[in-house]
Each structure stands twice: as structure tokens, then as C-alpha cells.
Amino acid sequence: MKFRYYRDMEKKGLKKLVFASNNKHKLAEARAILGDKFEVVSLEEIGCHDEIPETAETLEGNALIKARWVKDKYGFDCFADDTGLMVEALDGAPGVYSARYAGEHCTFADNVNKMLREMSGKENRKAYFATVIALILNGQTYTFEGKVDGYIATEPHGEGGFGYDPIFIAEESGRSFAEMSSEEKNAISHRGRAVRKLADFLSK
């Protein structure tokens, strides 16, 4: 399967663009939008197995750290994303700490369960996802943002997606991201919106 993917890319002669991620869901979402113009290459595919420290206090700061890491250590122009889930009743938490919400080496399920516990009995369930993409291209740095409004469900819904998808109900569809096809999610999601801004910029 992987072999055919590369052969097809080579045939198309696409320009390579590194996405500083090894998350297969994020890579698929980005490839669905950028894939006819760029060969979106993962960290693994450039031989990067580093635990890139995400020590900034903003999404933009972390996206910049990841993009600069790849440029400085591996020499590739690239883009990186950082995403946070901001929950109104939790004063914006977990926000920039969304990946480690339930602890340092927690799973997606641990995070979902902690969120359901913290939100137990809360009436205000408003939340949003935000993504910042940092792009380093020809020595310049650019950022792109995407946001989607919704609310936190009282229990998981659906089997698709990843992370908090089963408990994030998108306002404009009334369904959880995990109940949507990848096309439906990408059309309205925080990352889909940010990647489309990146794609528009790159097509100019």
C-alpha cells in the first residue's frame, strides 16, 4: 500500500512538504486537502523519531517549536500544527495542555474519561477546537488558524476519528466528529479550516 502511494506520487511529480507529525489521522486529514499538489511527508518518513518538546504556553508557540525543530535539525521546509480543546465551563482548559490532560503518558481514552468526569453535571457544555499551523518556507515563517464551535457530549458517540472526537459535538452538524466521515469532519473542523488556509496560501 505504502509502495503504491509513493509510486503514484513519483508519477505525479509532486513537490514534497514535511508535516511535522506522526499522527496518522492528522496526516490523512492534511493529505486529503493538500494531496493533489504536495506529497505530504511525515516525520517518520524523514527519519525523525524525536520527542519534540511542546513547552510553549500557546498553540502558536508549540506549532512554531515543532516547525523550527524540523527545519533546524533536518533542513526541510515544513509545517506543524498544534491543537487545543477549549471548554468554557473549565475556564478554557485543557487548551494548550489537551494532549496531556489526564497525565504525562495518558491515552486518548484517559483524556476523554477525565473530560467526562470534569464536566459531569455541568449545564454549560460550550467548547471549541482551535488549530494553529506554522509554516516555514524559503526562510520565512507564516501561521494559519482554524476554529470550530461545539459542545461536550455527556457520553462518547461514534467510532471514527481520534482524540476528543467522540465527545465533541460540532455546533453546525449536531453530531460528534467521531460519527462523521473523514470528509465531513475535514469540511468543518479546526484543522481542515487551517489546512485550507495553508493550501490557499501555497497555491498563490
Site for ligand IMP, rule CB under 6 A:
81-83, 85, 98-99, 108, 111, 161-165, 177, 189, 191
Nearest residue to ligand IMP on Cβ basis: 163
Query: Least distance to ligand IMP from the beta carbon of 148, Å?
Result: 9
DSSP secondary structure letter of residue 151 = E
The three three-digit cell numbers of residue 46, written as one number: 524523514
Amino acid at site 27: L
Q: Which is nearer to ligand IMP, 10 or 57 (CB)?
A: 57
Least separation, in Å, of the C-beta of 67 and ligand IMP?
13
User: 39 or 165, CB closer to ligand IMP?
Assistant: 165
Closer of 17 and 20 to ligand IMP (Cβ): 20
Which strand (E) or helix (H) includes residue 150?
A: strand 140-152
CB of 81 to ligand IMP, least distance (A): 6
Min dist CB 164 to ligand IMP, Å, is 4
- Best CA proximity match to 80, nearest among 67, 68, 69: 67
Cβ burial, residue 145 (10 Å; 0-12/13-18/19+): middle
Q: Which helix (H) or strand (E) holds 39?
A: strand 38-41
Nearest CA to 77 out of 5, 20, 37 is that of: 20
* Residues annotated catalytic, as ranges: 82
Residue with cell 502558536: 60
Q: What is the DSSP letter of 100?
A: G
**Which is nearer to ligand IMP, 52 or 136 (by Cβ)?**
52
| Helix, strand, or coil (residue 138) | coil
> Facing residues of 168 across strands?
152
